[in-house]
Amino acid sequence: MENRILGLHHITAIADNAKRNFDFYTQVLGLRLVKKTVNFDDPGTYHFYFGNETGTPGTILTFFPWEGIGKGTNGSGLATHIGYSVPKGSLEFWKNRFQQFNVNVEEGEIFGEKLISFKDPDGLQLQFIESSTPDDRKVWTTDDIKDENALKGFHNVTLTLKKADPTIKVLTDILGYDLQKQEGERFRFVTDSIETANLIDIIQNDKIVAGRNAAGTNHHIAFRVKDDNVLMEYREKVMSAGLNITPKIDRDYFYSLYFREPGGVLFEIATDNPGFTVDEPLNELGTSLKLPKQHEGLRDKIVGVLPKLS
C-alpha cells in the first residue's frame, strides 16, 4: 500500500433507538456487530460498528444511537446517501426480503449501475448497488443471507452540496481523487489506490436546504490510510491548504484526524492500525461491551444506563 488515501475507512451515522438500530443492521441487513463500545464523549451512549467478519476498512458503518434525539433532516452540507456493493443478480433477493420487513424500496440506476434505494428505521438513506467493477471482498453471512446476496461493503458515498468546487478541490488536491464521470449535477470521483470503497459522488444543488444532524443522518465520513505515519502526512497537507484539523486522536481501534471541508461535511482520516482484534479475538468480535480506558472505572454505572439490546 502506498502513502495515499485508500478509499473509505468507515461512515458514522446517528440513530434514535439502540435496540431498533442493532436489530435492523444485524437481523435485516445481516451485518456483523464487529464492536460494541460507547461514544468517547458521551459514554452513556453506545457506539456500534457493523461490518464484515473482520471489520475490514471500507465495510464499517458505525452508529451513535442517541435515545430520543429525534429525526434529523437530510440536506446540503451532509453525506446524504450510503451506497453498498452487492453481488450481481442479488437485487431481487433484497427486494423480496425488504417486502417481508415492510421496507419500501425504489429501483434506479446511477452511472449505468442498477440499484435499489431504501431508508433504515430512522430514515437514513441507503442504496444497494450492483457494481460494474469486480468486488471480491469476503462477506459476513447469516442463516438467511448467504454469499451470493450478502453485502460486500461500501461502494460509494454521496455528498450533497450547494457549491461543489471547493469540496472538489479538497478531494483532488489533498485526498488524491480524480473526476471519473459527470451526469448533470452529479459528479463521481475515484481513487485508483484501491479497487473497492473508492468512490465519492457529489450532487450539486444550490436550492436544497441545509441538512440538520440528528437521527437518520450521517455524522461524518472517514477516509482510510495505512498507519499513523501516513495520517500525520495528511495532517500537514490539510493544514497547508488553510483548513483547521484536529490533533491525532486515539480511537482505540484506529487513529483519527477530523476536519470540516468547505461544503460543511465532517471528514475524518483514519488508520488501519491497530484494528478491531486489539481487545477481542476474531471469533468473539462484538460480543462484549468494550470501554475506552478512561471510562473503564465507570463500567458498572455505564452498563446501568445503556439501553438493553435483548
Whether residue 2 is contained in a domain is answered as no
Nearest CA-CA partner of 66 in 308, 309, 306: 306
**What would the mean pLDDT of 33-50 be, rounded to a whole number?**
97
Q: What is the CA radius of gyration of the chain?
A: 18
Q: What is the pLDDT of residue 160?
A: 98
**What would the mean pLDDT of 24-28 be, rounded to a whole number?**
98
Whether residue 206 is contained in a domain is answered as yes
Whether residue 1 is contained in a domain is answered as no
Give the chain's mean pLDDT: 97
The domain of 169 spans: 8-305
- Evaluate whether 78 touches 211 at the Cβ level (below 8 Å): yes
| Residue for grid cell 469540496 | 167
pLDDT band at 310 (very low <50, low <70, confident <90, very high): confident
- Residue 273 to residues 84, 246, 252, 259, 298: CA-CA distances in angstroms? 24, 19, 9, 20, 27
Q: What is the pTM of this model?
A: 0.97
Q: What is the pLDDT of residue 38?
A: 97
Strand partners, 11: 61, 221
Q: What is the pLDDT of residue 30?
A: 98
Whether residue 76 is contained in a domain is answered as yes
Residues 125, 79: Cα–Cα separation, whole Å? 10
Whether residue 165 is contained in a domain is answered as yes
Number of structural domains the chain divides into: 1
Check whether 1 has a pLDDT greater than 80. Answer: no
pLDDT band at 188 (very low <50, low <70, confident <90, very high): very high
Whether residue 38 is contained in a domain is answered as yes
CB neighbours of residue 206 within 10 Å: 10
Check whether 39 has a pLDDT greater than 90. Answer: yes
- Evaluate whether 18 touches 309 at the Cβ level (below 8 Å): yes
- Evaluate whether 255 touches 57 at the Cβ level (below 8 Å): no
**What CATH code is carried by the domain that includes residue 260?**
3.10.180.10
